[in-house]
Structure formats: structure tokens, C-alpha cells
Structure 1
Amino acid sequence: MKAHGNVFKYKDNVDTDVIIPARYLNSSKAEELALHCMEDIDKYFVKNVKKGDIMVAGKNFGCGSSREHAPIAIKASGISCVIAETFARIFYRNAINIGLAIIECPDAAKEIEAGDEVEVDFDSGIIYDITKDKKYQGQAFPEFMQKIIKAEGLVNYINTSAS
């Protein structure tokens, strides 16, 4: 499984209220949440993001409240993977639950820049910055997590596994 796209870059401690502001939580529709993803930190994100693009951030990405709306908004916006130095634990679990690919790699998170073209191989954990011709070794996804992401989330994975 691979992800390939252009990078949107953010700093440390991007919390769930910045990812999807609380004023939009009256909706649980993914498409609606995507329209407001990152708007308080990057007003051009929604206009510029394309399906397959990659988000890169510093430490503690997804801190704050435990709402699933944040990874849902990111995934629905078209982001194929989030790379960060570290993730808040509840965000990490919520991302896997809804099928958003995430990978921790401190070196990649520090060195990859906005606009870089990046490819991520989830089998090996290798992150390749095509723009800079540089490889990073991230944390590879265990096979069961890849199956959950391919199934578009835990509920779909369980439903298809039970059939």
C-alpha cells in the first residue's frame, strides 16, 4: 500500500480544534467537515488540497479533544496520509479506526517542506521525498492496520471480515 502526493506542512501541537473548529461539529457528514478542515490555521488548505496529498506535522499532532471529527475531516479533504514526529494517542487510534493512514517519522517531519512531492510505502515504512531525492525510515504499518485502512476503517474491516 502506498500514498503519493504534495505536502501541506504544519508545526507542533496542531490540536483537533484547529483541524476542525468546534463551530462545525453540528455536522457528522464527512464532506461537510472537509469544507472546513484546517481553516483556522490555513485558509487556503481546502482550496488547494487534492486527492492523494500528504500532510506533514511536528510533535503531538491531533492533541486536544478525542472527537473522531478531526481525522474524518482530514481524510474527507483528500489527504492520503499524515506524517508527524508524534501523534496524540487518541488521534492515532481514531485515525486508524476511520481508515486514515498515519506514520510517525521525526526526521521526515522535520525535513520535508510544504509543496514537496512525497511517496510513502506502508509495507516498508519508507518515506521518499521525491523533490529532495531523500529517503526516511518511518514506522511500518503492521499488516492488520493496513487491512483496516484498505477497508476504509475498522467498522468496514469487521463487516467484510465477518462475511
Structure 2
Amino acid sequence: MELIRGKVLVSLGDHIDTDLISPGKFLTSYEPEYLGSICLCEYAPDFREKVRAGGLLIAGKNFGCGSSRETAPIALQAAGVRAVIAEEFARIFYRNAINVGLPCIECPDTLKSISVGDEVEVDLAKGIVVNITKSMHIVGEPASEKLIEILEGGGLMANLKSRLLSTR
């Protein structure tokens, strides 16, 4: 998988749950564009404007906790987030993110090592985040070959569809 390089545009703390990311009371449509427009709208009203250009998001521990809401990673992606670097993900969020094709990497001390505005490079296969701005490497959890394959295919369903069509 190619390296993901970009500017960190938003920093969130610990325990950001799926209801903050994709508020249930606004789920009147499951279209990605709409989901992107409501992403974190009550927690960080300017979120979409910050990430619209396509950048990276950093977060603390237990990112994506709460309900199994697949709309949360879709909303982040549709808002413009290219990848999420967090100290720790809620497992169900992590799987949902991979399933929709949103790259995620766990790195300890993310919030101490990376700041908004920093230029970073993410190597999912090696589990390394390079903070280019601060000239430092952060070692995280590498993604398995299977997860890389799913992400490269655009997510689980897109990957399966492609594989099924190629066998015809």
C-alpha cells in the first residue's frame, strides 16, 4: 500500500464515540455526502471545513467507542478525512473503518507526538508514522496483509465485488 502523507487538520481527545461522530438524531439519510455534512457537527461544528481539503485526524484513546455505527467511519471519510491516527481504537469502529476503506493506525502517545499542522507520513504495513515536521518516528501497530488488501480494494464490499467479478 502506498504511504499516506498529509497534514494533520484536527485533533480530538479520548473517548470520542460514534454518536458524536455520526449523531443518531441526524441520521435521516445514509448517503455519504450527507453523512459527511453531519460528521461531528455538535462536538466540533467547524470540523467539515477543517478537513474538507483532505487531511489526517489524530485522536486519543478509545476512538470510535459506543454503538456499532458503520456511518461513523463513512462520515469521517465523506467529510474529507484520509486517515485516522489514534492512541487506541474501539475494536468495532476499527473494523468498520477498514470495511469502508478508511485507513486507521494505532500509535501510543499520538497526542504527545503529533500536533495540528504537522506534516506526517503513515506506513500502515510497517506500523510507522513519521512526523516530518518534528523529525520523529512513532511506532504503532502494523496492519496485516489482509487488512492492507481490503483497504487497497476500497473496503470490504468493494474488495469482494472486485474479486467476484474477476472470477467470471
TM-score by length of 1: 0.94
RMSD over aligned CA atoms reads: 1.3
The CA distance in 2 between the partners of 1:143 and 1:134, in whole Å, is 25
Match of 1:153 in 2: 155
Mapping 1:26-105, distance limit 5 Å: 26-105=28-107
The answer to whether the 8 A contact 2:84-2:105 is kept is yes
Aligned counterpart, 1:17:
19
Letter paired with 2:58: V
Instruction: Give, in angstroms, the shift of residue 23 of structure 1.
Output: 2.1
- 8 Å contact from structure 1 (residues 51, 78) kept in 2: yes
Deviations 1:44-81 (A, max 9, x none): 11112144411110000001111100000011112111
Give the unaligned 5+ runs of structure 2: none
Name the structure 1 match of 2:6: 5
Output one character per residue of 1:117-146: Cα deviation in whole Å (capped at 9) or x when no partner. 111011211101111111111111111111
Displacement of 1:25 after TM fit? 1.1
Matched letter for residue 78 of structure 2 = A
Q: Deviations over 1:30-49 (max 9, x none)?
A: 11110121222212111121
Deviation of the 1:110 alpha carbon = 3.1
4+ residue segments displaced more than 6 Å? none
SS in 2 for 1:28: coil
The TM-score normalised by the length of structure 2 is 0.91
